[in-house]
Amino acid sequence: MAMKRVGSSAVRALTFSAFTRHLHASPGSKKIVGVFYKANEYASLNPNFLGCAENALGIRGWLESQGHQYIVTPDKDGPNCELDKHIPDLHVLISTPFHPAYVTAERIKKAKNLQLLLTAGIGSDHIDLKAAAEAGLTVAEVTGSNTVSVAEDELMRILILVRNYLPGYHQVISGEWDVAAIAHRAYDLEGKTVGTVGAGRIGRLLLQRLKPFNCNLLYHDRLQMDPKLESEIGATFEEDLDAMLPKCDIIVINTPLTEKTKGMFNKEKIAKLKKGVLIVNNARGAIMDTQAVADACSSGHIGGYSGDVWYPQPAPKDHPWRYMPNQAMTPHISGTTIDAQLRYAAGTKDMLDRYFKGEDFPAQNYIVKDGELASQYR
């Protein structure tokens, strides 16, 4: 990804931070902390289930054989959590979007030895990126590791909503049989207008997978696709997001969470969408106004909402999305398939190895480097 200059404050941060934090590991043992979800009895059921706390990306033996300390915990929140006990002296913190360790400016300030923040997966918005840049930290993720996983999941969710699948499933397990209760709001995907807000790696893959369904495909992004690729996919670029959204029968969120996109879909924006619109959001929960979505689902203005991202995560038991009608929500699972875990575990190990050797990471993996934020987070 392009790493453009961001202005005088970032340059000042770089000038100062160059003397305080260094990406490349100095000689000696390093303390590495990983924060992953607990798998309990499921941890041993699949040898490739690497993304859980018990299996810890499969790198424990490798790290410890080199003399490094590897602490793994699922306990990440609250004043007395296990993570906070290790913040003052850790060198590397690894987390995932599925069970994110929220790295605040306060935590960064306390982490005097911290050099590297790694996301095992895609999406580093759980980190205060501005504070990380100002502190001279490096933030990186395993770019591309779960793009296929998320795009496939989005397509599944579109079909679940369009075909009104969940009420039928619930009927079966509750012993009921009422075809009309399902069929009165079940549709074909063919001929519908689908718009993606964001057409990066995941958004493009989704559009490619939607093409055989003969939909009207629209996309909004900072950058227009290469004309040849755009023609192959059959998608139309919409420069004006507010002009695109009311055209859509189905909206898919594929944009990063930034200061600009936080709360983007508020009450006012939702009111301008088609009545009965279907929304799929596997990007980040905080892009949506939580209560505005719940209210619109209750009123029927949003005909169906599905996704796997919440704010915060894990979602509290009283989160309104758990109880709103016409939803097909799950925990954050789309990017943590076994195939994705193998990819992001390997990518994390590769970056750690490069860190120990003093080598640069693949350019596309950097989210913060030398005081600068990657372009999608500016």
257 is in an annotated binding site: yes
202 is in an annotated binding site: yes
Q: Length of the chain, please?
A: 378
Instruction: DSSP letter for 37, please.
Output: B
Choosing from 55, 281, 313, 341, the catalytic residue is: 313
Choosing from 55, 115, 146, 281, the catalytic residue is: 146
For residue 268, count CB atoms less than 10 angstroms from its CB and return exposed for 0-12, middle for 13-18, buried for 19 or more.
exposed
Q: What is each CA distance from 47 to 50, 55, 348, in whole angstroms? A: 8, 9, 18
What is the spatial distance between Cα 195 and Cα 174, in angstroms, rounded to a whole number?
35
- The single residue listed with the structure tokens 């900072």 is 222
The two tokens of residue 20 are: 């305080």
Is 266 considered catalytic here? Answer: no
164 is in an annotated binding site: no
At a CB cut-off of 8 Å and minimum separation 6, what does 152 contact?
Answer: 209
The two tokens of residue 144 are: 């591309």
Residue type at 296?
A
Choosing from 332, 341, 343, 365, the catalytic residue is: 332
201 is in an annotated binding site: yes
DSSP bridge pairs for 62: none
97 is in an annotated binding site: no
130 is in an annotated binding site: no
Is 378 considered catalytic here? Answer: no
Choosing from 21, 68, 204, 284, the catalytic residue is: 284
Is 216 considered catalytic here? Answer: no
At a CB cut-off of 8 Å and minimum separation 6, what does 25 contact?
Answer: 91, 115, 355, 356, 358
260 is in an annotated binding site: yes
Is 313 considered catalytic here? Answer: yes
Nearest residue to 95 (alpha-carbon basis) of 107, 109, 106, 80: 107
259 is in an annotated binding site: yes
38 is in an annotated binding site: no
Which string of b and e fits 195-227 if b means at least 16 CB within 10 Å?
bbbbbbbbbbbbbbbbeebebbbbbbbeeebee
- The gap from C-alpha 80 to its chain's centroid, in whole angstroms, comes to 27
290 is in an annotated binding site: no
370 is in an annotated binding site: no
146 is in an annotated binding site: yes
Pairs from 351-358 (Cβ < 8 Å, separation ≥ 24): 351/118, 351/140, 351/142, 352/32, 352/59, 352/63, 352/92, 352/118, 355/23, 355/24, 355/25, 355/92, 355/116, 356/25, 356/30, 356/66, 358/24, 358/25
149 is in an annotated binding site: no
Query: Beta strand 193-197 with 250-253: parallel, antiparallel or unpaired?
Result: parallel
332 is in an annotated binding site: yes
304 is in an annotated binding site: no
What is the set of active-site residues? 146, 284, 313, 332
Q: Which residues are annotated as a binding site?
A: 122, 146-147, 201-202, 221, 256-260, 282, 308, 332-335
Q: Which residues are annotated as a binding site for NAD(+)?
A: 147, 201-202, 221, 256-260, 282, 308, 332-335
Q: Which residues are annotated as a binding site for substrate?
A: 122, 146
